[in-house]
Amino acid sequence: MIQAKELTFECETGNYHTFCPISCVSWLYQKIEDSFFLVIGTKTCGYFLQNAMGVMIFAEPRYAMAELEEGDISAQLNDYQELKRLCLDIKKDRNPSVIFWIGTCTTEIIKMDLEGIAPKLENEINVPIVVARANGLDYAFTQGEDTVLAAMAQRCPRGKSISSSEPPLIIFGSLPEPTANQLTLELERQGINVAGWLPSQKYTQLPEIPEGSYVVGVNPFLSRTATTLMRRRKTKLISAPFPIGPDGTRAWIEKICSVYNIVPKNLVEREKKIWNSLTEYLDIVKGKSVFLMGDNLLEISIARFLASCGMHIYEIGIPYMDKRYQSAELKLLQETCLKKNTAVPRVVEKPDNYNQIDRIYDLSPDLVITGMAHANPLEARNINTKWSVEFTFAQIHGFSNAAEILNLVTRPLKRNIAYH
């Protein structure tokens, strides 16, 4: 095979399967403990959430649909009055510290002025209302979190002005508490104090973000949040690869250290130690090929880590490629492929699933990372698959979770069913 040295970027038709961005509600309501998420949409949105969230729905979640009826669509009902009625109900029953309004396709099309209504209603009912437009017209899957965090970034207190010699560091991206603690601890080991996380465990504990702070992302799908933090909150973005896999985690920490003029201690050894502990997994994946169909924007980081593990990456499908926000990650991907002497993959933005399946038949990769709509049909055609959704919900960040990623990736490769 002729090996490309540069990453190639393509863009297809956008006919691909992914989750609706309102799915972010399912993990954000758990992360932000005093929140309530109100999705303002139709039965279609409700049906999706109900099925995608599975059993979570029965645990009395802090989320609900404001289901739009014909009267709402034809403006026979007054949006303001309707939302007020619902939000008062929510306040009475759940008493949250914040209500998130999740705008959907329908509120976009009928141009419901959520951003306009929210401040008025907020004063009236005395509960903060944060508006995020997480709709399928504009965004895919994890980008839903991006719209919520971008809206939250505006609510963080300004705090005292800071000395320019050592600006505070705020990390953005919603991670399970243990993972967030681990990353905080990693930085503390290097003598870097993490001033706060966006989002915090509670809405009432949002971090202060003074002008001139440093901010760094933990996930590749947070470009709006990054933009908001830079432009609206006048912070400085540390552009780093994401702390996914030991290689990514080390690069992430190194980059943060370099900004604070710290020479990282013990980091190379630490990475090496983690790699050593992964040997049994690496033996399985080494030399195998993988095709990422693309649906959650984690694809570049996952592919870079798998290339580090010695896998050949055929194609990286991705819903949306922000080359600026992901620049450091893209660079690391290319370097990794060259170092490992494997093909530099093509990145296909807005992929076309039908064409991709054609290419999968041609290439017959050892593993396809794909959504659940294609997994069973591909398995039935003897192609190993891993559901991409699991990477979104599993703990994959930091040094110690590298094993978790490989655990997911190797599971279909390990399975050798004997019928005789």
Partner 1 sequence: MKLAYWMYTGPAHIGTLRIASSFKNVHAIMHAPLGDDYFNVMQSMLEREQNFTPVTASIVDRHVLAQGSKEKVIHNIIRKDKEENPDLVVVTPTCTSSILQEDLANFVTRATYNSKADVLLADVNHYRVNELQAADKTLEQIIKFYLEKEYQNFNSPIKKTKQPSVNIIGGFTLGFHNHHDLTELKKIFKELNIDLNLIIPEGTQVAEIKDLPQAWFNLVPYRETGLKAAEYLYSKFQMPYVSITPMGLRQTARCLKEIQEILNSQGWICNFEDYINDQTYFVSQAAWFARSVDCQNLIGKKAVVFGDATHAASFAKILHYEMGIEVSWVGTYCTNDAEWFQKEVFDFCQEIIITDDYNLVATLIEKSEPDAIFGTQMERHIGKRLNIPCGVISSPVHIQNFPLSYKPFLGYEGSNQIADLIYNSFTLGMEDHLLEIFGGHEVFQENSLNLTLNSNLSSINWNQKAQEELNKIPGFVRGKIKRKTEDYAQQNNINEITLDVMYTAKESNHQI
Residue 348 and residue 10 in contact, taking contact as beta carbons nearer than 8 Å: yes
Q: How many CB atoms lie within 10 A of CB 261?
A: 7
CA-based nearest residue to 41, from 84, 81, 18, 73: 73
Does 88 bind partner 1 (CB under 8 A)? Our answer is no
Stretch (H or E) spanning 103: strand 98-103
Interacting span for partner 1 (CB under 8 A) from 115-123, 133-141, 208-216, 340-348: 133-141
Q: Which of 24, 65, 316, 347 binds partner 1 (CB under 8 A)?
A: 65
Q: Which of 5, 6, 58, 76 binds partner 1 (CB under 8 A)?
A: 58
Tell me the C-alpha distance between 255 and 38, whole Å: 38
Stretch (H or E) spanning 386: strand 385-387
Find the shortest distance in angstroms from Cβ 314 to partner 1: 20
CA-based nearest residue to 238, from 180, 300, 194: 194
In the stretch 134-153, what mask flags binding to partner 1 with x, by CB under 8 A? -xxxxxxx------------
Q: What is the largest CA-CA distance in the chain?
A: 72
Does 356 bind partner 1 (CB under 8 A)? Our answer is no
Structure-derived torsion over alpha carbons of residues 364, 366, 370, 372, reported in degrees to the nearest 10: 100
Find the shortest distance in angstroms from Cβ 203 to partner 1: 20
Q: 321 CB contacts (<8 Å, ≥6 apart)?
A: 9, 300, 347, 349
> How is residue 75 written in tokens?
């403006």
- What residues from 266 to 295 belong to the interface with partner 1 (CB under 8 A)? 273-274, 277-278
Find the shortest distance in angstroms from Cβ 2 to partner 1: 29
Find the shortest distance in angstroms from Cβ 67 to partner 1: 4
Interacting span for partner 1 (CB under 8 A) from 12-20, 94-102, 251-259, 360-368: 12-20
Residue 105 and residue 68 in contact, taking contact as beta carbons nearer than 8 Å: no
Does 354 bind partner 1 (CB under 8 A)? Our answer is yes
Does 120 bind partner 1 (CB under 8 A)? Our answer is no
Does 50 bind partner 1 (CB under 8 A)? Our answer is yes
- DSSP one-letter code for 241: -
Find the shortest distance in angstroms from Cβ 327 to partner 1: 25
Does 119 bind partner 1 (CB under 8 A)? Our answer is no
What SS3 class is residue 38?
strand
Does 47 bind partner 1 (CB under 8 A)? Our answer is yes
Does 42 bind partner 1 (CB under 8 A)? Our answer is yes
Interacting span for partner 1 (CB under 8 A) from 233-241, 256-264, 310-318, 366-374: 366-374
DSSP string of 265-305, one letter each residue:
PSHHHHHHHHHHHTHHHHHHHTT-EEEE--SSS-HHHHHHH
Interacting span for partner 1 (CB under 8 A) from 107-115, 125-133, 212-220, 331-339: 107-115
Q: Which of 376, 393, 411, 414 binds partner 1 (CB under 8 A)?
A: 376
- What residues from 205 to 234 belong to the interface with partner 1 (CB under 8 A)? none
Does 83 bind partner 1 (CB under 8 A)? Our answer is yes
CA-based nearest residue to 145, from 277, 29, 279, 283: 29
64 vs 215 by CB, closer to partner 1: 64
- What residues from 163 to 202 belong to the interface with partner 1 (CB under 8 A)? 177-178, 181-182, 185
Number of shown-chain residues binding partner 1 (CB under 8 A): 72
Q: How many CB atoms lie within 10 A of CB 164?
A: 7
Amino acid letter, 69: E
Find the shortest distance in angstroms from Cβ 375 to partner 1: 7
Residue 261 and residue 106 in contact, taking contact as beta carbons nearer than 8 Å: no
Find the shortest distance in angstroms from Cβ 136 to partner 1: 3
Tell me the C-alpha distance between 123 and 391, whole Å: 40
41 vs 345 by CB, closer to partner 1: 41
Residue 404 and residue 179 in contact, taking contact as beta carbons nearer than 8 Å: no
Per DSSP, which regions of 42-92 are E strands? 63-67
Q: Which of 29, 32, 72, 318 binds partner 1 (CB under 8 A)?
A: 72
Does 113 bind partner 1 (CB under 8 A)? Our answer is no
Q: How many CB atoms lie within 10 A of CB 175?
A: 22
- What residues from 384 to 413 belong to the interface with partner 1 (CB under 8 A)? 399-400, 403
Does 368 bind partner 1 (CB under 8 A)? Our answer is no
